[in-house]
Amino acid sequence: FIYVNSQKDLDDLIKDSTYTTEQKESLQEFIDNDASGVQISGTNDIVINNNIARINIAMAANKDQAMFAAASPIHELFHIYNKSKNIVDKKGKLSDEAQGAVSEAEVTLENKAKLNPKKYKKALDIFKKRKKKYEELAKAQKKKVDVEEVLNL
């Protein structure tokens, strides 16, 4: 993990790094979106913005949002894991099996929520909200939905 605590730390990281232009753009997008963590594509580097992570936890509207903010570094580790297991290729494209797993995950949660709403309804609601957030972000950026983000939920 690379920990940063200020905008200057992030600016210095971009300036002093050997990252490609695309990787630097990804890091800049991370900064612009006030994200608490990002995995730099093509590397095993994970950048955690400590201040944003703390703010996202403290200012979360509810416990679920706080848990997602706290789990951000683990979420970023999943990106590296997915590549190491060939779930995702070097360009970030999901394998056919993983693509199917994302589709099946929502159906499975829906079925479990029907059978045991008390235990699974909340998980399904969280999954759907996060998925919708990724879809809206992709639409705003005029990109395809990054299905790996949904997989890492």
pLDDT in tens, 5-48: 888 888 898 888 899 998 888 888 877 777 888 888 888 899 99
Q: Is the dihedral of CA 72, 80, 102, 139 positive or negative?
A: positive
Reported as a pLDDT band with limits 50, 70 and 90, residue 151 is low
Query: Cα(92)–Cα(109) distance, rounded to whole angstroms?
Result: 25
pLDDT at 148: 67
144 has a pLDDT exceeding 70: no
Query: Cα(6)–Cα(46) distance, rounded to whole angstroms?
Result: 16
Among candidate residues 86, 84, 79, 7, the one with its CA nearest the CA of residue 40: 79
pLDDT at 150: 65
The mean pLDDT value of the chain amounts to 83
111 has a pLDDT exceeding 90: yes
Burial 40-55 (b: 16+ CB within 10 A, else e): bbeeebbbbbeebbee
Reported as a pLDDT band with limits 50, 70 and 90, residue 115 is very high
Query: Cα(130)–Cα(127) distance, rounded to whole angstroms?
Result: 5
58 has a pLDDT exceeding 90: yes
pLDDT at 82: 83
pLDDT at 142: 66
pLDDT mean over 121-145: 77
Query: Cα(25)–Cα(15) distance, rounded to whole angstroms?
Result: 12
pTM score of the predicted model: 0.68
Percentage of residues in the chain having pLDDT higher than 90: 12
Q: Do residues 26 and 40 make contact, with C-beta atoms less than 8 angstroms apart?
A: yes
Structure tokens at 73: 């570094």
